[in-house]
Amino acid sequence: MRRAIMLAEHGRTTVSPNPLVGCVIARDGEIVGEGFHARAGGPHAEVVALRAAGEVAAGATAYVTLEPCAHSGRTPPCTQALLAAGVTRVVAALQDPHPVAGGGADLLRAAGVRVDLGCCEEEARLQNAVFLHGLATSRPFVVIKAAASLDGRIAAADGTSQWLTGEQTRRRAHELRAAADAVIVGSQTVLDDDPALTVRMPGYDGPPPLRVVLDRRGRVREGLQVLDTAAPTLLHRGGLDELLAVLWERGVRSALVEGGASVVAAFLRAGLADRLVLHVAPVLLGARGRPLVAGDWPATLAAAPRLHLHDVEQLADDAVLTYTLRPGSRTEPASATPERA
């Protein structure tokens, strides 16, 4: 199953709005076929693995990260493919909560196939956090990414911030962009830095994320990179809840918030952030540096929000800290709006 989870990850930048799914076909203790879901509308992981296995799939076990689908969409149901191939056992990490696609386990059992659910469930659940979150909330999964100094500053007193982190960490930032359907920034960031907000990785062939600029006052002007033809751009002049509803309707299932400090603070205060990825640079910028989050925050430690540390990674001299947030957790005042956006 862990091999299937590894395979599923290959679809990270291309499967949206579908889930990440990997499949391994094993017989007599040997892997005879494997595959992953690469693109929405393309063959599902089970079908790819069965094709690789060929006739030896008969009597084999299929290890799949998500319960095989039982409905016909843009592709035929995977349950049908598994039955046609003669697979006698299916082990799935997650039960599919989708109201239409779910139910494959019951269909397979009714046909005489042994089905076991729950193997490596937590790993698979974490991998498909975006898909599961969307089904539960009907809004995009929001990741905040920020680069900061050891003392929590995103820029020096004069506004310079390039480059706080090293090359490896900046590459990781582009991996986060590649995995997102949209990238969100405030208009001040666009005016200050003129960022392209595109994915710049060797060999990347996935779709560019939608560039979203929070521009309440209509300050974004022609000639800035964010308005070029390298990727689509949305200039949004409303609030955050309205924005997430608009993005959901446009098919955005994951959004990466890249700043600035007022935008980051607004998402945290409103309880609309699901994950925080903090790139920490080995530098000190002092009290005059620009803070990671803007505005007023709780005056007491007891009232300060606490995040759950999920992962720590070292990249050269930088640290990448990944935190998860409780659904709907917010910090007053919740009505705060991005300053200078």
Residues annotated as catalytic are 46
Which of these, 226, 225, 224, 242, lies nearest to 234 by C-alpha position?
226
Tokens of 237: 């002049």
Tokens of 289: 């540096």
Tokens of 53: 């296995």
Cα 272 to Cα 60, 325, 327, distances in angstroms: 44, 9, 8
| CA within 13 Å, CB half, 280 | 12
Residue 33's beta-bridge partner residues?
A: 25
Q: For residue 229, what are the contacts with CB-CB under 8 A and spacing of at least 6?
A: none
Distance CA 232, CA 215 (A): 16
Q: For residue 55, what are the contacts with CB-CB under 8 A and spacing of at least 6?
A: none
